Structure 1
């Protein structure tokens, strides 16, 4: 499959998708392949003008879409799922090219992205309510749920398909219309998803996509628009705080999936081989560029040597390279800035006493960084307090469980965590003491469309996926009915 042909079919210079049609803009911006640094495409660069047109289209489409029978909305979402799976090759090629992740990771993302359309096609018809007798008697209480309205969706670059579908699917299932701003690093996949939704039968104006390099002004304009009643953002905690402040000015319903600093705990009696297998998934999926990525490894001192040796050998065996090499397991970082940030973190950790115990190899061209395992990391090291977002694994040995858990919870983040323990009761006991919205126990993956994805503390507000996901796009309404 020639990626240039795939991109040409998208017509990215007319990649702004409003009212069911592509349109251009006064300016364009380049999208680079982070593995080769080649420019893949030039994409229409939307301004506040196009952002306003997108809201206008979504607002016009909202009454009819909200009134569409849940079964009909469900069937459209089901068709979208089928089309995404049928189009896996093209979508995986796009993701790998603009994001840089390995082909295996790209195909896994396509499957994950499609599952949100399948899951919420099933949830769309389960808009349950309540009926009951008022405690004082004489009246009946009816509770129902209705779509919140036009939803502004803002997605990151690390999962360009899945982060879009994880928001679009529940919004459409609930009866909302949406305006989506994808990341400027990876807009091509979002454009492709908009085309798939049109082919699935989503009416014009229900889904609008606005690629832009002027994200701050575009999103701020949406949050000032009285027709926008919902914002859902996935990205850094710093940007999330800014958007929450803007949303507060109009009291806009807000969902935030923000930064993470996931601990990976290995107990004294854990199956070390299984823990290493889980660690490889939790750390190196998408090259560590995931908010759920294991960031800090707390390994009991009695098994630390064995864990480090096995983990280090697996790290050194990783194949790092561009996605067009099908043997590649880890791709590049997304940008030169990201690469510089990871280098700085490792250099600071080494200066602070850590040792590079194991390191893989990486190409010299492109934004690649070799997978690295650090030992001798001090419990108060700065690298343990930062979201690494790269293929770096710092290991801290622990002896006392209470002291270890104080370190685990000594962070402003609380998104994901991982625990490996021989006895399930120990794993659950430790998991319950960790301040995180999601904990993987004896497994290195926590994401699932059927589960409520989200964090605590400064890792976010609200949940995506499961029944909780559709509730984020609904308002609760009740009727007090006199029957006398």
Structure 2
């Protein structure tokens, strides 16, 4: 299988290509075009030329295109799920769930597209009328990660198209195939040629740097590491490009003394093991009240040890491989470091030999604050548990991080839980709930976890400029 760039509605081949590997086997499954800076700029020419006409398309027409795309994605659910599983490694059940989740952004923004916000006000001095409207910001650069290759693409693309913006999508080189297939589906659904282009490349810094330096890109949306996000924000400064950043996380999962432990363990399995832990929202630090820490640890270890590990395309698999060998080596290093500082392995703890990049589902207890896994994003099937003595202490520990994406809190007292949530320095908080992602909700963090929001009513606003008109009256 060989895939090219998508520029101006045409598939463009390149002299250079790179391989996409199946992480369950290490074997190549496709060759993908490796774009040069010149080809990236050709994509920018395309979206810039298409921008005025697309911005002028009535919002109802844009909405109908996105609704057709929603129906088409669900109609090809199994096809997308198998492709996601093959290039990313997640079990088919999770890949199907990603398809459903990703499609929801198409439905949501098909509805939001037809409801542009505006205001008519009378000036306080009575001398004029104030009209406030929103208009498309212009050509966008959308950079998506490898861990949710469909959902992260739909979340950005649907909002941009609904707003009337054109866009270049640069998918992660580990998982470009799903994004390419989705872009082709959008063309079939009626998105005009040139409105959405896909550029695949191993030279992300060179290509994206040239696009941002050109001056025609007006909006950047990036999901990835905080380190890369900081560099991109700096590059946006030269031409005052509006950045949206969904960056790293270090999510605390707090279990208070009066929590329903069975429910908390169910939540822990979701918050930790969704996508094999390879998610920015994954629970990173399990802070458990000392009075229930041993029982919680035993229950969680039992549940983790019972998970079936195997290639994602195998129907019995519950845990697939991590994305690559570097990710697996990082997990080994995090576990070894925690153990060296006194943590105890309750289950798992090491890589699984054989083809593919598999790692045992792992639970450690007695993880100290100085351990690397306490401050670094784990991004894998490893759960470290740290006891606390009172809820105020747990909040202080939870907030002691540069990140602020999501926190989870399990408590038997809703009033106390709400008060505690207000003290947590995170953009999202799940109370007795471990899945916060929802197309209808504003997704995003504070501090070093990002800028802006995706999803919800708020998500489209990052793709719109405000315009105020003063009318003499």
TM-score exceeds 0.5: yes
Match of 1:285 in 2: 274
Q: CA RMSD in A?
A: 1.0
Match of 2:446 in 1: 456
Q: 2: distance between equivalents of 1:198 and 1:394?
A: 45
Contact conserved, 2:337 with 2:371, CA < 8 A, in 1?
no
Contact conserved, 1:321 with 1:363, CA < 8 A, in 2?
no
Q: Which residues of structure 1 form unaligned runs of 5+?
A: 1-7
- How much has 1:400 moved relative to structure 2? 1.9
Following superposition of structure 1 onto structure 2, how do residues 330-349 of structure 1 map, counting pairs within 5 Å?
Answer: 330-349=319-338
CA change 1:474–1:131 in 2 (3 A) is same
Contact conserved, 2:335 with 2:349, CA < 8 A, in 1?
no
SS state of the match for residue 472, structure 1?
helix
Match of 1:16 in 2: 5
Q: 2: distance between equivalents of 1:81 and 1:401?
A: 43
Q: 1: distance between equivalents of 2:264 and 2:454?
A: 27
Following superposition of structure 1 onto structure 2, how do residues 28-427 of structure 1 map, counting pairs within 5 Å?
Answer: 28-359=17-348, 362=352, 364-427=354-417
Match of 1:469 in 2: 459
CA change 1:68–1:150 in 2 (3 A) is same
- How much has 1:379 moved relative to structure 2? 2.9
Contact conserved, 2:83 with 2:177, CA < 8 A, in 1?
yes
- How much has 1:377 moved relative to structure 2? 1.1
Give the stretch that moved more between structures: 254-263 or 363-372: 363-372
Q: 1: distance between equivalents of 2:96 and 2:313?
A: 13
- How much has 1:154 moved relative to structure 2? 0.3
- How much has 1:376 moved relative to structure 2? 1.1
> Are 1:433 and 2:458 matched, yes or no?
no
SS state of the match for residue 360, structure 2?
coil
SS state of the match for residue 218, structure 2?
strand
Q: Which residues of structure 2 form unaligned runs of 5+?
A: none
Number of aligned residue pairs: give it.
Answer: 472
Q: 1: distance between equivalents of 2:15 and 2:450?
A: 35
- How much has 1:380 moved relative to structure 2? 3.1
Q: 2: distance between equivalents of 1:179 and 1:371?
A: 37
Contact conserved, 1:317 with 1:360, CA < 8 A, in 2?
no
How big is each residue's C-alpha offset from its partner over 1:204-256, in whole Å with a ceiling of 9 and x where there is no partner? Answer: 00110001100011110110122110000000000000000000111111100
Q: 2: distance between equivalents of 1:406 and 1:460?
A: 21
SS state of the match for residue 369, structure 1?
coil
Q: 1: distance between equivalents of 2:394 and 2:267?
A: 20
Q: 1: distance between equivalents of 2:332 and 2:211?
A: 36
- How much has 1:444 moved relative to structure 2? 0.8
SS state of the match for residue 86, structure 2?
helix
Q: TM-score, normalised by structure 1?
A: 0.96
Q: TM-score, normalised by structure 2?
A: 0.98
SS state of the match for residue 165, structure 1?
helix
